Amino acid sequence: GAVVSQHPSWVICKSGTSVKIECRSLDFQATTMFWYRQFPKQSLMLMATSNEGSKATYEQGVEKDKFLINHASLTLSTLTVTSAHPEDSSFYICSARTDSVNTGELFFGEGSRLTVL
């Protein structure tokens, strides 16, 4: 299947700093990528839909100024957690679809675990 790479896989930062997570589609172009957040022992919560060349679409309750998303190219989307606080600690997962047909399955990155001290 298609490969989606996330970096870093884990990061520890101090409260108040900003952290950037990258999501790359390695062997295909993705016009749309998705960012999820997963709390321990819970399901995935969609945060936003990242669209190449345009603004991201955020889900209700997700602060767009807190979680900045940039989809700079067809193979790269970034999520920046600004002024991170301990409650932002979580497992962040990105995904992308391989084709423009809406029946395609999503391929997921390996996730990035953020710990804010």
Partner 1 sequence: AQSVAQPEDQVNVAEGNPLTVKCTYSVSGNPYLFWYVQYPNRGLQFLLKYITGDNLVKGSYGFEAEFNKSQTSFHLKKPSALVSDSALYFCAVRVKAAGNKLTFGGGTRVLVKP
Q: Enumerate binding residues for partner 1 (CB under 8 A).
A: 1, 4, 6, 34, 42-44, 46, 49, 91, 93, 95, 102-103, 105-111, 113
Q: Which is nearer to partner 1, 59 or 63 (CB)?
A: 59
Question: What count of other Cβ atoms lies within 10 Å of the Cβ of residue 32?
Answer: 17
- Nearest-approach distance from CB 47 to partner 1, in angstroms: 12
- Nearest-approach distance from CB 68 to partner 1, in angstroms: 21
Q: Which is nearer to partner 1, 82 or 91 (CB)?
A: 91
